[in-house]
Amino acid sequence: MRGASRKRVLVTGGAGFLGSHLCSRLLDQGHTVLCVDNLYTGTRENIIDLLKNPWFEFMRHDVTFPLYVEADEIYNLACPASPVHYQYDPVQTTKTSVHGAINMLGLAKRTGAKILQASTSEIYGDPDVHPQTEDYWGRVNAVGPRACYDEGKRCAETLFFDYYRQYRLKIKVVRIFNTYGPNMHPNDGRVVSNFIVQALRGDPITIYGDGSQTRSFCYVSDMVDACIRMMETEDDFTGPINLGNPDELSIRQLAELIVDITGAGSKIVSKPLPQDDPVQRCPDITLARESLNWTPSIEIRSGLKQTIEWFASVI
């Protein structure tokens, strides 16, 4: 790929779990990639192999401060995405979502770049509609311990659509549901990484409540594919759009599956359910199927095997 066909792509949060996979895929497509990350939850290890590529550049930077670079496309992924990390410094989490969105939207306005916001299923809160469709407004506790992330992401969506209406920015908004795979942080507190690490160490596997609460799990390569497809849609298609796996699984079923794959002797133990933890979480991906011609292709057992192999090599 040469000249005008090689895009300059900025990925904020590019050293994180999803961001590192996205950077790798964009490089494979022949683009120039600028990875921006303050390494709060991202790690150099996630991008160590990419640093050898002459079309890849890493910049340590916090998106709550303005960034002066050039770009044709911006993927705004910067924000801690697990309760352990986003609740550690909730004020900074809100700043990252809100100030980060303002700074990246300002950059897109100056450069004319197309910009994608990595929003989240958490904007639906603890939903009373199931599965969740994009026209559902959500059920969020604005003053709870998860609000720094939930409301921060909701405000970021508001900003994106206000910039679209006021300045005609080329925006894309994706609502990402539970995603898993290699490069997850071993101590991020997410259910997949928790269970795998506990199983590999032979520790008891901790579920909250009775484990009947459900989630849907999308393998990271499928999610990267969906995000890129969304970025490539026509400018008048903005989203928001749900991205995730519609196959629902209870937390207890996930724990039992990981024990089976690892062959661990771990026992499953229960602890009280955290405040505002959703009972059900599952996307309606009709819009993604119709507009992106996308549906997840990696089956949960296959994806977990690959993820477990990666964790076994790093812990």
Catalytically active residues are 149
DSSP symbols for 156-212:
HHHHHHHHHHHH---EEEEEE--EE-TT--TTS--HHHHHHHHHHTTPPEEEETTS-
Structure-block tokens of residue 256: 């039992």
Of 69, 66, 59, the residue nearest 13 (C-alpha) = 59
Alpha-carbon span 301 to 41, nearest angstrom: 27
The rounded distance, in Å, linking the Cα atoms of 297 and 246 is: 11
3-class secondary structure, 103: helix
Q: How many CB atoms lie within 10 A of CB 166?
A: 9
Instruction: Round to whole Å and give the CA distance between 107 and 163.
Output: 12
Assign residue 239 a region: left if phi > 0, alpha if psi is -120 to 50, beta otherwise? left
The count of residues in the chain is: 315
What does the DSSP assignment read for 268-313? EEEEPPPTT--S---B--HHHHHHH-----S-HHHHHHHHHHHHHH
Distance CA 177, CA 197 (A): 21
Distance CA 207, CA 221 (A): 27
> CA-CA distance, 40 to 93, in Å (whole number)?
11
